[in-house]
């Protein structure tokens, strides 16, 4: 009996499989040692190992004896949870239950940064199309700039399933790397004088419960009227928020924030890994996607900061915005707000930017979902 019969996995192992197992180990290392998005990167890393061992029963295999396909559990999860968009949409319910919109009511004008900081999505989409990607693939790569994992997964699974693995890895990795990516870009675009600008926190203002309950309902109706195809994304986010704010579903709200978020994230991570097989991942495309993802995050930051500087042109001297706040218009919450607050304190220990930064960051959470909905609406019209 030869090695092939005795240990078919070793006999069938290629260098590409070994590289992917290495990628899986790196993701696990980043999750555990560096605490980079561990809830996603750890299952994805483990899943990458799971699917790159030849003949893994986690993936659908052809039984040599019968010639029939034996379904693998990860393929079943993929078909049931990602191809149908159920997993990312359930994550939106959980995220909605976690979001407190009251900072937006205190500083509503900062909502606009949630729009400006989506610039990276569209710049990247254009750049990807210049590199030869078709419109659907370019849009899927661009959506990494939403800095919002579930939105990236929904768009990529619909428009470019072959790129889902690298897009998810890039989206979640760069979200974890916001403290490294944003500060140099912000310093490049702002002067010290601008970084020292103080802003009012508006934290003393109390918000009516009725307004907070009506907000998710009204947003859903408005979004549905303007762009019905964005409704699944925005609707599930707002449904989660309504469960949080209604005051009569506290147990469900806590379950959504904790158990639902944990379970679905776990399944989402390991299921995405089913697309991280060597034949789909070890390609030049993957490197391009990773590089373009970084480009998207840089241009998001650029868009937000430049828009803040633009708004300052029309504001009085004693009411200027700190342009760093613009960078919080991305969806990475609350990491981006924390980064900006720390940058502000580095320049002036008595400058407290956390509250306005959080307001802009909450705006970014809405903006990224809106951007996803708009991409889902527009791309099929032009592709």
**Residues near 114 by beta carbon (within 8 Å), at least 6 away in sequence:** 329, 360, 362, 363, 364, 365, 366, 367, 368, 370
Q: DSSP character for 37?
A: S
Strands (E) located in the chain: 61-62, 69-70
Q: Is residue 138 near other proteins by the rule CB under 8 A?
A: yes
**Which residue, 207 or 249, is less far from other proteins as judged by CB?**
207
The rounded distance, in Å, linking the Cα atoms of 114 and 330 is: 6
Interaction with other proteins in 90-119: which residues (CB under 8 A)? 104-105, 108-109, 111-112, 114-116, 118-119
Smallest separation (angstroms) from other proteins to the CB of 312 = 18
Name which of 55 and 218 has its Cβ closer to other proteins: 218
As given in the structure block, the two tokens for residue 102 are 């009251």
The CA distance from 286 to 52, in Å, is 16
Stretch that binds other proteins, among 45-53, 133-141, 265-273, 339-347 (CB under 8 A): 133-141
State yes or no: residue 247 binds other proteins (CB under 8 A).
Answer: no
CB 191: neighbour CB atoms within 10 A?
A: 9
- Smallest gap, in angstroms, from Cβ of residue 382 to other proteins? 4
Give the binding-site size for other proteins (rule: CB under 8 A).
49
If binding is defined by CB under 8 A, does position 311 make contact with other proteins? no
Instruction: Specify the DSSP element, H or E, that contains 136.
Output: helix 135-142
Nearer to other proteins, 138 or 170 (CB): 138
Determine the straight-line distance between the first and last CA of the chain, rounded to whole angstroms.
55
**E strand or H helix at 159:** helix 149-159
Which DSSP state fits 315? Answer: S
Closer residue to other proteins in complex, CB, 87/239: 239
Pair 357, 206: CB distance under 8 Å: no
Name the residue with tokens 């408005």.
Answer: 222
Torsion sign across C-alpha atoms 120, 126, 127, 131: positive
Strand partners, 82: none
- Least distance between other proteins and beta carbon 257 (Å): 23
Which window, 45-53, 193-201, 202-210, 241-249, contacts other proteins (CB under 8 A)? 202-210
Site residues for other proteins, 317-376, by CB under 8 A, read 363, 366-367, 370-371, 374-375
Q: Does 121 bind other proteins (CB under 8 A)?
A: yes
Considering only 16-24, 38-46, 201-209, 318-326, which stretch makes contact with other proteins by CB under 8 A?
201-209
Residues that bind other proteins (CB under 8 A): 104-105, 108-109, 111-112, 114-116, 118-119, 121-123, 125-126, 128-130, 133-135, 138-139, 205-208, 210-211, 214-215, 218-219, 222-223, 226-227, 363, 366-367, 370-371, 374-375, 378-379, 382-383
């Amino acid at each position: 009996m030869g090695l092939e019969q005795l240990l078919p996995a070793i006999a069938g192992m290629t260098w590409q499989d070994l590289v992917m197992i290495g990628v899986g180990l790196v993701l696990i290392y980043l999750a555990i040692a560096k605490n980079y998005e561990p809830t996603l990167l750890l299952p994805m890393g483990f899943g990458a190992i799971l699917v790159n061992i030849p003949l893994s029963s986690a993936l659908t295999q052809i039984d040599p004896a019968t010639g029939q396909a034996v379904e693998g559990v990860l393929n079943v999860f993929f078909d049931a949870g990602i191809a149908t968009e159920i997993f990312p949409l359930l994550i939106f319910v959980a995220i909605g239950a976690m979001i407190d919109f009251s900072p937006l009511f205190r500083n509503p004008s900062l909502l606009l940064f949630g729009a400006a900081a989506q610039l990276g999505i569209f710049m990247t989409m254009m750049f990807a199309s210049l590199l030869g990607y078709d419109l659907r693939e370019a849009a899927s790569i661009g959506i990494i700039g939403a800095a919002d994992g579930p939105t990236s997964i929904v768009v990529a699974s619909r428009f470019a399933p072959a790129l889902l693995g690298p897009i998810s890895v890039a989206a979640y990795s760069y979200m974890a790397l916001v403290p490294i990516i944003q500060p140099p870009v912000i310093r490049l675009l702002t002067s010290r004088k601008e970084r020292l600008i103080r802003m009012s926190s508006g934290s003393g203002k109390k918000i009516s419960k009725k307004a907070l309950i009506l907000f998710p309902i009204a947003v859903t109706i408005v979004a549905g009227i303007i762009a019905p195809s964005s409704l699944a994304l925005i609707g599930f986010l707002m449904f989660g928020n309504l469960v949080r704010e209604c005051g009569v579903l506290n147990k469900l709200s806590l379950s959504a924030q904790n158990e639902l978020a944990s379970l679905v994230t776990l399944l989402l991570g390991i299921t995405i890994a089913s697309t991280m097989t060597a034949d789909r991942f070890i390609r030049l495309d993957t490197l391009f996607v990773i590089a373009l993802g970084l480009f998207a995050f840089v241009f998001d930051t650029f868009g937000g900061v430049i828009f803040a500087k633009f708004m300052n042109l029309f504001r009085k001297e004693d009411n200027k915005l700190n342009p760093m706040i613009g960078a919080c218009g991305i969806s990475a919450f609350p990491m981006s707000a924390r980064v900006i607050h720390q940058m502000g304190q580095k320049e002036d220990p008595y400058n407290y930017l956390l509250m306005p930064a959080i307001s802009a960051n909450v705006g970014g959470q809405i903006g990224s979902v809106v951007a996803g909905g708009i991409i889902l609406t527009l791309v099929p019209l032009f592709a």
